[in-house]
Amino acid sequence: MIVGLVVNPVAGLGGAVALKGSDGPDVQARALALGAVPRASARAAAALRALHARRPDVRVRTVAGPMGEESARAAGVPYEVAHRPTASRTGADDTRAAVVALGAVDLLLFAGGDGTARDVLDAGPLPPVLGVPAGVKVYSGCFAVSPAAAGATAAVFDGRTVDAEVVDLDEEAYRAGLVGARLHGTVRVPAAPARLSGRKTGSSAAPPGSAESIARAVVAGMRPGTAYALGPGATTLAVGRALGLGLTPLGVDVVRDGALLAPDVTERQLHTIAMSQVTHGVLSVIGGQGFVIGRGNQQFSPRVLAALAGIVVLATQQKLAALGGRPLLVDSGDPQADVAFDGHVRVVTGHRESVLYRIRSASEELP
């Protein structure tokens, strides 16, 4: 089995430092200056380890340096370098050139986010592909739910595929709170629906007042002197409205006693707050995917989650029903930390309404 690997080494840089994306050299430089740590190479290596454990005969064809070679070496898998980027700082053109240079492979793995998926799509024609989630926003349907799931899926790939959508957002508009995913095309991915994240869906189908009803329940349950870190999402914005506060669109804001304690915090700032006082996380469910942690809210890192007094999960009944019984998912970047969430979580679905719902690590072995 020959598997191609392309890594976008700067994917995900902007998440933990509250930049809401990583597209563009200026944003990447700012993220690094704020202390962002690259993680795409490590997540690609995790996928390769899971693949090699199940398919010791696999051969990896990849790109020199951080665009794949470093991940293959870290994973201890046999590999060959089929392409060398022309510059030390890589971009979209390098991703497209790498995909073309890898040539015919049984399956092409790529590590990144929606922007990387779009670059891969633009390089076509393509073999079957599978995304290793490593970006800030991972809304396209061509990604596995975790690096481990990507490797496990690649190991049992038998040639059967389904079409998956590639979508991307305008990051400048995204940072301003305008979420409008545009469909760019489709790619062929392994036919393994349980291990694929699926495309994010919006909340437009929810009945009017659903978010406000949930927000009233959250505000009624807030305790004096306790801090609440409100994650991104339309439902958490409704919590802000119920408090009379204008929250940061798609950011993480911390409130206490009905007032804004810290707006648009980074992971480091949130960790400092959680270590200094009792803090709860308030997180909404991503429609169509079921993620609670790890998609667009990387400020909730493993160390932040360990410091929190607990989490409050929000979702409309319609959003939960649309999951079709699939569990809620956690992908903080540390599979061992994620396992601590395995079980059931109470989900606030309205004023005086809640349900117990299954939640699990996205890295947990799936069917």
pLDDT at 22: 61
pLDDT at 2: 97
CATH 3.20.20 fits 210-361, yes or no: no
Rounded Cα distance between 274 and 309, Å, is 8
For residues 15-20, give the mean pLDDT.
68
For 34-88, write each residue's pLDDT tens digit.
Answer: 776 779 999 999 999 999 999 999 999 999 999 999 999 999 999 999 999 987 6
Rounded Cα distance between 137 and 134, Å, is 9
Phi/psi at 118 (nearest 5 deg)?
A: -65, -40
Rounded Cα distance between 153 and 363, Å, is 12
For residues 350-358, give the mean pLDDT.
95
pLDDT at 323: 93
Is pTM, for the whole model, over 0.85? yes
For 194-226, write each residue's pLDDT tens digit.
Answer: 889 887 776 544 555 689 999 999 999 999 999
For 115-164, write each residue's pLDDT tens digit.
Answer: 999 999 999 899 999 999 998 878 899 999 999 999 999 999 999 999 99
Domain boundaries of the chain, sorted by first residue: 2-195, 210-361
Of 182, 8, 2, which Cα lies nearest the Cα of 92? 8
- Contact in structure between 118 and 97 (CB atoms under 8 Å): no
For 150-164, write each residue's pLDDT tens digit.
Answer: 999 999 999 999 999
- The alpha carbon of 191 is separated from its chain's Cα centroid by a whole number of angstroms, namely 21
Place of tokens 């690590």: 361
Kindly report the three-state secondary structure assignment for every residue of 157-176: CCCCEEEEEEEECCHHHHHC
- The alpha carbon of 174 is separated from its chain's Cα centroid by a whole number of angstroms, namely 15
Q: Amino acid letter at 118?
A: R
- Contact in structure between 217 and 164 (CB atoms under 8 Å): no
pLDDT at 259: 97
Rounded Cα distance between 210 and 84, Å, is 52
pLDDT at 199: 79
